Amino acid sequence: MTFRRWFTPVAAAVAVGGLGWALWSCRSAIEAFDWGFSWPAIVVAAVLFALSPLIQAISFHILLAELGAPVRFLSATVVWTRSFLLRYAPTGVMGLAYRLRESGRLGVSPARMATATVYEQIAVLTAGALACASGFLLASSRPPAAAIAILAVALLVLAALRPSWGGHLVRPLLRRRGIDVSALVRGRVLALVVALNSAGWMATAAGVWVLVDGIAGPAPDPAWLGGSHAFAWMLGFIVPFLPGGLGLRDGTLAALLAVPYSPGVGAALALAVRLVGMLGELVAAGVAEVAAAVSGIETKSSPMGSVSPALKSERR
């Protein structure tokens, strides 16, 4: 317990300190670099970064509906965007805890909320691996072996969770371990969710290219840049206890960007991508909150232990 309690803050401190040291040690190279500063590039990049979270929220709503939990789109989007921002909290599990807490207010059973979350995470990882592999291939580069391995595992897991293939084996296996999965998602719906998230990755790749091109001059091949960013994101995604992939994602992207630029410039660009990416996430959350407020949808968090009438009826 002590290790788990201190791992995240120590890892975050080491990551931030390492990135800060990289910037400081290469300060002369950073100062000598011909930097540009373009507010339009930052604004456009933030808007493009905001598209991917909103697309993920759409995917989440589709999964909930497929699992027999018809929730109003804006209500599900607000819960999703809030939980998305909460992944920066220590251990990164606050997002899931918030979703489970809000399941009662939305009229969704905790089991279905957790099932939708699992499907969503696997679909997002699959789309990220596809974006990484296709980006490198389009840039005539060899994709990292780790990206191919992650893609293969993610596709196998998605296939195993389809009702027509592995569903008859997976559900009894989970039930024997005390996990009651009420329903499984059809293959065509999984394909749709992966396709939507892949479109989100295209928007993210465009945002990275616009930002790098706007502040560091001519950017590398957009396909290579998008694949590199997706690879860095994947590593931060699969390593546990790092909130938002803090440190590992940024360090990986900095190392990749050091190839067309320099180590110091790569570290600075990775930090810029992180900060503008977070700005885009805030924009996405703001859009959801404003849309819900205009539509008159209740967004106040439910107290712990509360259960909606719809969920009570479902339990009966």
> What is the 3-state secondary structure of the chain?
CHHHHHHHHHHHHHHHHHHHHHHHHCHHHHHHCCCCCCHHHHHHHHHHHHHHHHHHHHHHHHHHHHCCCCCCHHHHHHHHHHHHHHHHCCECCHHHHHHHHHHHHHCCCHHHHHHHHHHHHHHHHHHHHHHHHHHHHHCCCCCCHHHHHHHHHHHHHHHHCCHHHHHHHHHHHHHHCCCCCCCCCCHHHHHHHHHHHHHHHHHHHHHHHHHHHHHHCCCCCHHHHHHHHHHHHHHHHHCCECHHHCCHHHHHHHHHHCCCCCHHHHHHHHHHHHHHHHHHHHHHHHHHHHHHHHHCCCCCCCCCCCCCHHHHHHHC
**pLDDT at res. 313:** 38
Residue 95 placed within a domain: yes
- 158 against 15, higher pLDDT: 158
Residue 48 placed within a domain: no
Total count of domains within the chain: 1
Average pLDDT value over all residues in the chain: 80
Q: Report whether 249 contacts 236 (CB < 8 A).
A: yes
Q: How far apart are CA 308 and CA 79, in angstroms?
A: 15
Residue 315 placed within a domain: no
- Domain containing 274 equals 57-296
Quick one: average pLDDT of 238-260?
81
Residues pairing with 91 in the sheet: 241
Residue 131 pLDDT > 80, yes or no? yes
**pLDDT at res. 178:** 56
**pLDDT at res. 310:** 39
Quick one: average pLDDT of 224-251?
84
Residue 25 placed within a domain: no
- 5 against 157, higher pLDDT: 157
**pLDDT at res. 19:** 45
Residue 167 pLDDT > 80, yes or no? no
Residue 91 placed within a domain: yes
**CA 251 remoteness from chain centre:** 17
**pLDDT at res. 8:** 43
Residue 115 placed within a domain: yes
Residue 17 placed within a domain: no
**pLDDT at res. 67:** 86
Residue 201 placed within a domain: yes
Q: What is the pTM of this model?
A: 0.81
**pLDDT at res. 216:** 82
